[in-house]
A = this chain, B = another copy of it.
């Protein structure tokens, strides 16, 4: 049985509604995956994620869990689901992106990457084989092939070398698999060069994966260049597999990318911005520290059904933020994640009704209205 089914699809477009079946349950797509870097979505209990956010799946970071507390400990304790008390699906990334963005003293060779831990300075090595082994120890439902996230900017020669290394690592990642109960996704690189993206796509599809991701975006290339890749390649990724746009993005980005045919997304924006007092709303983002909210009795977004909006005024949320209270991060994270999840649910509903373009355009008009 194919783990992915397209439920329905736009008549005159690429957006589609789908369903991914995993060992820990079904994921309705398009979907957003909250980032739970160190086996916790910062500030929220799994109960809040289930009941207040209605999250279907969370992402955990292989790199972080490998360094602390260690994947072998987590395996010994029954896997990452049990460890973090989360019973629904989990996706782990390959660790590649973090090695390149967070570690010092990294050296890349054909076999893999050597890097230094920012926690204690110890030296570690990741290869396609170890990345897959770590991810299988953690026991995620969806795991990612080990790739080199091509830095931006890159010359076409650098991008070509990088995508070819990623393609060889993709093959090795696939060979390294020992479990048959997870889904393995391949990652397409190629920077902002359409020809190289196409080459990377061909090479990745030739290896054959359960799903395909666009990697190496949202790394400094800017919105226009990112949209160009998404629009050109979203619908070219294999139709019969889930399509995942890694590390993206704003609410607008998600609408554009779903329209381009993508199904899955993750981003730290809703959670990180929450901790900085930034709330997403239907009418654009709102910074709660602004003095104009001092006496504001209204909720963040009157049309939002989240716990935060149902119970607290902007004045109270501003007070919590100004007083540096932990609850400020908690309530903002609940709201922002709920906002993202309602946006995805709205897209799914619109796809069911054959109404996606109207939904998208109406959202984008509202969202820009505050600016």
Contact = CB atoms under 8 A, between A and B. Distances in A.
Interface stretch (A243-251, A318-326, A350-358): A318-326
Interface string A34-58: 0000111011111100000000000
A154 interface: no
Contacts of A161: none
Contacts of A44: 327
Interface string A62-101: 0000001100010011100001110000000000000000
Given A295-B76, A326-B42, A331-B45, A319 B68 contact: yes
A248 B140 CA distance: 46
A38 B294 contact: no
A316 B39 contact: yes
Contacts of A312: 85
A189 interface: no
A85 B311 contact: yes
Interface string A305-342: 00100011101101110110111011100000000000
Given A38-B323, A77-B295, A85 B316 contact: yes
B40 A320 contact: yes
Contact of A326 (B43, B73, B331): B43
Contacts of A295: 73, 76-77
10 contacts: A38-B320, A38-B323, A40-B325, A42-B325, A69-B318, A69-B319, A77-B316, A78-B297, A83-B313, A84-B316
Q: Which residue among A38, A73, A327 has the maximum number of chain B CB atoms within 10 Å of its CB? A: A327
When A and B form their complex, which 9 residue pairs have the shortest distance between CB atoms, in order from nearest? A43-B326, A85-B311, A40-B327, A69-B319, A38-B323, A40-B325, A83-B316, A42-B326, A85-B312
A313 B84 CA distance: 9
Contact of A45 (B39, B46, B323, B327): B327
A319 to B, nearest CB: 5
A331 B330 CA distance: 13
A204 to B, nearest CB: 33
Interface in A280-321: 294-295, 297, 307, 311-313, 315-316, 318-320
Contacts of A43: 326-327, 330
A307 B38 contact: no
A325 B76 CA distance: 22
Interface string A182-209: 0000000000000000000000000000
Contacts of A84: 316
A330 B326 contact: yes
A47 B307 contact: yes
